[in-house]
């Protein structure tokens, strides 16, 4: 199961926007209106979905084999 609140999930499941975190931790939504032309949004949406997916997968090797302290205490 994956984290539905992760940056990847928030971006992937919002088809009408590119969702990314800001420096303050608040997520920014870039919509079609934020781009100069109608053709730019789909191009950047595909790129951001792929980029976020790569970042998500890169951390999986480490986190898949870890237990949180709360999970370890219940065993």
**Sequence-distant contacts of 3-6: CB under 8 A, at least 24 apart:** 6/56
pLDDT tens digits, residue range 5-45?
Answer: 777 788 888 889 988 888 888 889 999 999 999 899 999 88
Q: Is the pLDDT of residue 46 over 80?
A: yes
pTM of the predicted model over 0.75: no
Q: Is 26 left (phi over 0), alpha (psi -120 to 50) or beta?
A: beta
In the prediction, which pLDDT does 1 show? 46
């Amino acid at each position: 199961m994956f984290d539905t609140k992760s940056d990847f999930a928030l971006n992937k499941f919002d088809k009408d926007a590119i969702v990314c975190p800001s420096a303050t931790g608040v997520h920014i939504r870039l919509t079609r209106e934020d781009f100069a032309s109608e053709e730019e949004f789909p191009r950047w949406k595909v790129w951001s979905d792929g980029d976020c997916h790569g970042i998500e997968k890169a951390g999986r090797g480490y986190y898949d084999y870890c237990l949180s302290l709360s999970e370890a205490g219940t065993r």
